[in-house]
Amino acid sequence: MRLEAATRPLQQLLARGQPVLERARGVAERVHAVVGAALPLRPLEVLLAPGTAEFLARWRQIPPGPTLVARLYALHQPDRDALVDDTGRLTWREFDESLNAIGNGLAALGVRSGDRVAVMMRNCRQYVQAQWAIARMGAVLVQIGYRLKAGEVAHVLGNSEAAAVLYHADYRDIVAEACRMAGVTPHLVRVPDELERTRLHAPPGPRAA
């Protein structure tokens, strides 16, 4: 009893200090994320780059993670190539803007942070855009192999409870059949071969048009 009484003030002090420690840890994690993303760049050039002041003013709104790299490079080297494939090129500015455009498009469909978004696409720049946009909005990527059959895709969709499916136009029939088999109605977003910039073609209903 005496030991308990003697340690009670210390326990109370620790309890009062816990929220402060949690806030400090949150700040430290964000600072670490920003510094880690900026290491490949020249610090002085980053500070002097146009838009850096706005970035610093809004940095709390940007979730820590790999998408910070896109934002920093968009400020530092906006016209340098970020993604290149057989269908075209995207600069860092275009890539960063596309993450917001895709995220806003998914949000308009009702996708929220923490929701799962399935992606069925080949390896291309549109896949990278979708992957990073999903991460930036705080959703969870569900990868669907593009060689899977409808029954296998149905299994993934049924277990993941994906709120939306981004799929290459070639897999329209497979995705539609998989949704029917799984009895699910996620938002379906078609990504065509010749996707221009960040446009997503979303059919009006749960079935692909």
- Assess whether pLDDT exceeds 60 at residue 203: no
Give me the pLDDT at residue 77, please.
83
pLDDT band at 52 (very low <50, low <70, confident <90, very high): low
Q: How confident is the model at residue 62 (pLDDT cuts 50, 70, 90)?
A: low
Stretch 48-67: mean pLDDT, rounded?
Answer: 64
Residue 152 has pLDDT above 80, yes or no: yes
Whether domain 112-209 has CATH 3.30.420.40:
no
The angle at the Cα of 100, spanning 52 to 136, to the nearest 5 degrees, equals 85
156 confidence band (pLDDT: 50, 70, 90): very high
Residue 115 has pLDDT above 80, yes or no: yes
Query: How far is it, in rounded angstroms, from Cα 166 to Cα 133?
Result: 12
| pLDDT(195) > 50 | no
* Element counts in the chain: helices (H) and strands (E): 8, 6
Weakest mean pLDDT among 11-20, 113-122, 137-146: 11-20
What pLDDT is attached to residue 191?
Answer: 84
Q: How confident is the model at residue 19 (pLDDT cuts 50, 70, 90)?
A: low
Query: Residue 73: its pLDDT value, please?
Result: 82
Strand pairing of 81-85 and 88-91?
antiparallel
**Residue 161 in tokens:** 């409870």
Mean pLDDT (the chain) is 77
pTM: 0.68
> Rg for the chain (alpha carbons), in Å?
22
Q: Which of 122, 106, 137, 116 is nearest to 202 (CA)?
A: 106
